[in-house]
Copies of this chain bind each other. A is one copy, B any other.
């Protein structure tokens, strides 16, 4: 079985290609943008997009919505992570967190899968904290400011294999694979 991955984000596709390869599976990149709704819950965002793409993309297909939820900022930037990243960026998050001691944050990824005419959601969560400075060059998005629990380094200081041991993306992917392999 070959799954089509719908994303406009090259980095995201690269991470998934590696994850699928480790499972001896193939993934095909469908590089296109699609409609996402405004909703605080990434599950709802993913579900809406799945339905919007149904009939337009060859099944089975998947997409992924992810967000960084910072506790002391009431969950900001949440599902709007990509917009926030390309406007105020990591520097903006540093400014917002300047005098805040509570650094707790979670990275959430929700994979939406459309297969055999049904929608399925798989959620991955990584607990961690916001670093005090922007660190590392690898990865993308908020990777340079997120330190997963169990490490002292940001996602951007890790190579992709190490990041994949911790990442929300990997957690969601694991559930997807378990489901597919039943």
A-side interface residues toward B, CB under 8 Å? 35-38, 40, 45, 48, 73-80, 83-84, 86-88, 92, 95-96, 98
Contacts and interface: CB of A to CB of B under 8 A. Distances in A.
Contacts of A73: 87-88, 92
Interface SS of chain A: mixed
A52 B45 CA distance: 16
B86 A83 contact: no
A40 B98 contact: no
Contacts of A75: 87
Nearest to A40: B83
A74 B85 CA distance: 11
5 contacts: A38-B80, A76-B87, A78-B87, A80-B80, A95-B95
